[in-house]
Each structure stands twice: as C-alpha cells, then as structure tokens.
C-alpha cells in the first residue's frame, strides 16, 4: 500500500473541510486529458494554427459564415468523441461533498455535465447547441447545405451558428451575474486549467480572493492568476483533483 504524499498542507485541508461554499473556475486545460485541444497551449493550442479572429468572431460570422460553421463543426466533432476525465469526475463528486458548490466554466464542451456536475455556469455557451444569427432561435435540425455554406434557420431563414460566445461578444448576462455572486460569496475557489488571460472570467479569482476566499490554482504552468492564488498545484487536473478530493474528503 503506497502512502500518498499529501498534496495539501493541513491548514488548507481544514479550510476546505469547513468551507460552506466552494466555487470552481475551469478552462480548456481540464478537458485537455479528454483529448480536446486547448486554445493557447503551444503544442496543442488551436490558436497556434488558426487566427481566432478569422474563425471565431462576429466579423468572421458576418463575412464568412460557412467558414465559421465548418470550424465549429470540426470542434463539435472532437467534442462528441470526448469523454469526461478523472478531473471532471472529481469535481462532480466534490459537488456532493460540500454544502454549496458553484462550477463556473469557460469551456463549451459540456463535459462537466456529462461527468455528473449539476450546477454548471457556462460563461461561454455550449458548442453542442445551435442558434440562428438573427433571433437566436434554438435549432436542432436543419437542411443540409453545400460544403463551405452555413445552414439556415428553419424559422427565420438566417444563418445558423453555435450557441457560444465569439471573440468580442458579451457573455450571457445572467450567467455572469451568478458567477460574480459565487465569486463574491465563496469560502474557497479552485482555478483549474485556465491561462487567465480572457476577461471578465479571469477577474473572478481576484474577486474571490478580495473577499477572503482561499484561492487554489491547478495548472501544469504558471499563469497571471498564479500570483492571485494562495496555493498553486503544478500538474494535470486529471491527477491532482482526484488526489485533492481523497485527501480532503477521505
Ligand atoms: P487556454 O488554452 O488559454 O489555457 C489552457 C490552460 O490549461 C493553460 O494554462 C495550460 O497550462 C492549462 N493546462 C493544459 N493542460 C492541462 C491539464 N491537463 N490540467 C490542467 N491545466 C492544463 O484556455 P482557456 O484559459 O480556457 O473563449 O481560454 C479562455 C478562453 O479563451 C476560452 O474559453 C475561449 C478562448 O478565447 C472564447 O472562445 C470566448
């Protein structure tokens, strides 16, 4: 029986055990071990090969909806093949172990929900949902179109797009307000797998720390949020999160 080297100092374990409200902010890194490329990682980053402004922006949607549709169809296909990893599963377990748990994600892959997380705030939408450009009509079936074209809304005829936040677009207001309230009231915030460069999501850990929450970053790399964190755990979320849950809630 190998004794696991404790991941967390005793005072952090005590703090988490008595926390009434734990908030979590996740980014693309938590889905990396499910095979979904992150945005900015050098070796796998999607943006390394593509210019996001050319593919995931309102301008791209207006100028070339077919290209935006194809780009997201490719990403949707990768997401459809992906399964939750032990990091997602550990967070779903944690939700059942604390009195109040708020999972705020920048990811659009729906893997937290697939892992069993109940209360998920999707700041940037969900790639598996499709809406139309003109009225945001939710659409689940559409007429097939030629390669390079974007399908049309069966209700109003405008082109379809993924129900995700594109570069430069506003976040869903009510979702962000809930994320803000959770950051302002949590006793602890875990910041997992995000480069912490996209606002307003990246402001949430600072807001949590400002009101006295314990902030823990889980990421193999240092990020601008590392200085905000009280504790940084350098490693993959798929290994660290199960070990954290085992140590705090044996
Ligand atoms: P990034 O690709 O910017 O950052 C991914 C982070 O995950 C990096 O800091 C990696 O070091 C870390 N990482 C990689 N593998 C990991 C692992 N196994 N476990 C834990 N961390 C790991 O992705 P985000 O920060 O999520 O927004 O990007 C934020 C937003 O920028 C996205 O939501 C997207 C993009 O523009 C929109 O599309 C609106």
Q: What are the structural domain ranges in the chain?
A: 1-35+84-124+170-250, 37-81+127-164
pLDDT of residue 25: 98
* DSSP 8-state class, residue 61: H
* DSSP 8-state class, residue 113: H
pLDDT band at 250 (very low <50, low <70, confident <90, very high): very high
Q: Does 102 sit in the ligand 1 pocket, CB within 6 Å?
A: no
Name the residue with the closest Cα to ligand 1, atom 22: 29
Residue 231 pLDDT > 60: yes
Q: What is the pLDDT of residues 96-110, one digit of tens each?
A: 999 999 999 999 999
Rounded to 5 degrees, φ, ψ at 160 are -95, 155
Helices 237-248 and 86-95: crossing angle in degrees, nearest 10, is: 30
Q: What is the CATH number that goes with domain 37-81+127-164?
A: 3.30.1600.10
- Return the structure tokens found at 174: 């009510």
* 162, β-bridge pairs: 130
3-class secondary structure, 28: coil
Among 235, 216, 174, 201, residue whose Cα is nearest residue 8: 216
pLDDT band at 71 (very low <50, low <70, confident <90, very high): confident
Cβ contacts of 239 within 8 Å, gap of 6 or more: 86
For domain 1-35+84-124+170-250, say whether CATH 3.40.50.1220 is its number: yes
Cβ contacts of 90 within 8 Å, gap of 6 or more: 241, 242, 244, 245
CA torsion angle 124 129 135 141 (round to 10): 170
Q: Which residue has the tokens 């009509």?
A: 137
Atom of ligand 1 nearest to the CA of 223: 9
pTM of this prediction? Answer: 0.94
Mutate to test the pocket of ligand 1, among 198, 217, 225, 244 (most ligand atoms within 8 A of CB): 198
Among 37, 74, 64, 56, residue whose Cα is nearest residue 193: 37
% residues pLDDT > 70 (the chain)? 95
Give the strand order in the sheet containing 120-122: 120-122, 100-105, 21-26, 188-192, 214-218, 231-233
pLDDT of residue 37: 86
Q: Which residue has the tokens 């708020």?
A: 102
Q: Which of 88, 112, 119, 124 is catalytic?
A: 124
- Return the structure tokens found at 6: 């404790």
Q: Does 112 sit in the ligand 1 pocket, CB within 6 Å?
A: no
Query: What is the distance between the alpha carbons of residues 47 and 64, in angstroms, rounded to a whole number?
Result: 18
Cα(18) to ligand 1 centroid in Å equals 29
Mutate to test the pocket of ligand 1, among 57, 195, 224 (most ligand atoms within 8 A of CB): 195
Q: What is the pLDDT of residues 131-168, one digit of tens each?
A: 999 999 999 999 999 988 999 999 999 999 999 999 88
Cα(108) to ligand 1 centroid in Å equals 12
Burial class of residue 146, CB neighbours in 10 A (0-12, 13-18, 19+): exposed
pLDDT of residue 42: 60
The answer to whether residue 173 is catalytic is: no
């Amino acid at each position: 029986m190998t004794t696991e080297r404790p991941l967390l100092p005793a005072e952090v374990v005590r703090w988490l055990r008595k926390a009434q409200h734990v908030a979590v902010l996740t980014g693309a890194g938590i889905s990396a071990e499910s095979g979904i490329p992150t945005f900015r990682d050098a070796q796998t980053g999607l943006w390394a090969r593509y210019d996001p402004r050319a593919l995931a922006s309102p301008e791209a949607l207006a100028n070339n909806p077919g290209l935006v549709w194809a780009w997201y169809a490719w990403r949707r296909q990768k997401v459809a093949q992906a399964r939750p990893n032990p990091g997602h599963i550990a967070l779903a377990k944690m939700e059942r172990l604390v009195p109040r748990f708020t999972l705020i994600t920048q990811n659009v892959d729906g893997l937290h929900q697939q892992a069993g997380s109940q209360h998920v705030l999707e700041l940037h939408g969900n790639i598996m949902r499709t809406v139309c450009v003109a009225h945001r009509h939710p659409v689940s079936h559409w007429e097939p179109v030629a390669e390079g074209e974007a399908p049309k809304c069966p209700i109003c005829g405008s082109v379809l797009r993924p129900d995700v936040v594109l570069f430069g677009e506003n976040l869903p207001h009510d979702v962000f307000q809930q994320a803000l309230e959770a950051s302002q009231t949590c006793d602890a915030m875990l910041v997992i797998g995000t480069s912490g460069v996209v606002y307003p999501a990246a402001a949430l850990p600072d807001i949590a720390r400002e009101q006295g929450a314990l902030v823990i970053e889980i990421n193999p790399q240092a990020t601008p949020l590392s200085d905000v964190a009280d504790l940084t755990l350098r490693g993959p979320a798929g290994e660290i999160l199960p070990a954290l849950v085992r140590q705090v809630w044996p």
